[in-house]
Amino acid sequence: MTQSSTLCLDELVFDNRFIRELPADPLLKNSRRQVKKACFSYVQPTPVSDPVLVALSSEMIDELNLSKDSDTDPQFLQVFVGNQLLNGMKPYAMCYGGHQFGNWAGQLGDGRAINLGDVITENNKRWSLQLKGAGPTPYSRTADGLAVLRSSLREFLCSEAMYHLGVPTTRALSLALTGEKVVRDMFYDGHPEYEPGAVVCRVAPSFTRFGNFQILSAQNDIENLKKLVDHTIKTDFPHLDHSAQDIYLQWFKEVCTTTADMIVHWMRVGFVHGVMNTDNMSILGLTIDYGPYGWLENYDPDWTPNTTDANGRRYRFSSQSQIALWNLLQLAEAIYPLINDTKPLEEILQHYNDYYQQQYNDMMANKLGFEQSSEAVEELAIQLLQLLTVVETDMTLFYRALSKIELEESIYMQDSLLHEFFEPAWYQPDQVDGNYLSQLKAWLQNYQKCARDLKLSEEDRKNRMNNTNPKYVFRNYLAQQAIDKALEGDYSMVHELLNVFRKPYDEQPENEIFSAKRPEWARHRAGCSMLSCSS
């Protein structure tokens, strides 16, 4: 895209179909309340005193066809902290409900997110712009609607890292400090502190969630439930046959399919969302709401990054596909009044199970370098995951190391070479004993035999593995290091990480430090292991 073809902010084209076609909360006062028979409330962002731009995504700048000099444009900063509105912007907060940790929580809504409007780009893409941390809304309950640098930086960097990893995700345009101080009790332990306030501009084709439909169904507002479903299909699923009698079932099946695809990608890269409540589930199958997320470093299928979930571990790594299914069941119950037949909904939910398992098996085969799954490859993958729990092993680094082994040679079976290949992935090398090495050798022999039986070439295996298994993931300790520097006014690591994560599958020898396993000092440090929902 050439510089001459870019737009200034005032040239952005807005099409605010959501608020034009759906019922609004008739009250304009920004007071906390229960909202009935409405999909949203009008609200204005809270002005801030002294904004400073920390970072922006050049990819989203290009996607919106904005000038590459936006980082030096004073108007850009004022707009994307909420101090100024562009022509066509009509800010609002969505009304939705949700199940939180398996329990119906009633009305939730955009408590600290304010939608500015939908931009239509020259290639006819729709991008909804949303400020997170721009002040209270009618859905803020007892909260202040604000956000702090700590959580905002984590969201900004992770959403862009996930995009480059190939994981379906909402995006981020900008991260800015507000100049205000915000009180937060990070650990909910009665020790609140002042932290720097910040605003992230989030971007997605739509921010509609399962909970948008649930709240209307729970209120028995079937008229507006139908309006919302019809609007969603027309706006976000234009490729479906809108004249078909089973259009709602077609739509629900696609929601199930894209949700399954998203979870498969999470499992591929070792991402754990941490708070898979139904209000945090995108109707488009996008990763949304980056709160207490984490990356599986040592392979532990029972790990959750969320301190609130530490006891029950409802949202642990290994349960994410089944939690997604449970959430889809709640969506099915919400839209049931439009269908009035449980059988087709049950069949679609069963399809989710079957589809997910096949996609998961193929993904695990790809991680080992095979084109698709087979009974032998599936067994190989299961055995490897069991082996990864015997010695505390970094999942990301193990798969990258595995790609370097020449399966056609037997020399790699020497103990010294196994240490050379895999020691960078072992957190506790002293756990590696003769018994473990024997198990590893046996597995490698099975791997070699399977590759030979399926006539898998070394070149194809390595290419497929290194296109499936990233070298660089956004580990929590990296996030905390970037936060520590940013709190001192040094944003250099934010920009370094943005640059590294643009090519997460490349070797990048100059950035090797960012691929290292979690250091021992970060094992239990706040922000580097588990996080609270305020993180």
Residues assigned a catalytic role: 279
Distance CA 154, CA 202 (A): 12
Cα(14)–Cα(25) distance, integer angstroms: 21
DSSP-based helix, strand, coil % in the chain, nearest 5: 45, 15, 40
What φ, ψ does residue 493 adopt, rounded to 5°? -70, -30
Residue 84 CA: distances (Å) to CA of 48, 50, 89, 190, 398? 10, 13, 10, 36, 49
74 burial via Cβ count (<10 Å: 0-12, 13-18, 19+): exposed
Task: Calculate Rg over the CA atoms of the chain.
Answer: 24
Two tokens at 151?
């959580």
Residue with tokens 């999942």: 395
Using the structure block, give the residue that is written with the tokens 């006014």: 489
* DSSP result, 153-187: HHHHHHHHHHHHHT--B-EEEEEEEEEEEEEE-TT
The answer to whether the CB of 41 falls within 8 A of the CB of 149 is: no
Q: Amino acid identity of 450?
A: C
Task: Check: CB of residue 397 under 8 Å from CB of residue 388.
Answer: no
10 Å Cβ neighbour count for 220? 9
Q: Is 531 exposed, middle or buried (0-12, 13-18, 19+ CB in 10 A)?
A: buried
- 243 C-beta neighbours (distance < 10 Å), count: 6
Concatenating the DSSP letter of every residue in 44-107 gives: -PPP-SS-EEEEE-HHHHHHTTB-TTGGG-HHHHHHTTTS---TT---EEE--EEEETTEEEEE
- Angle among Cα 86, 178, 479 to the nearest 5 degrees reads 110
49, two tokens: 């005193």
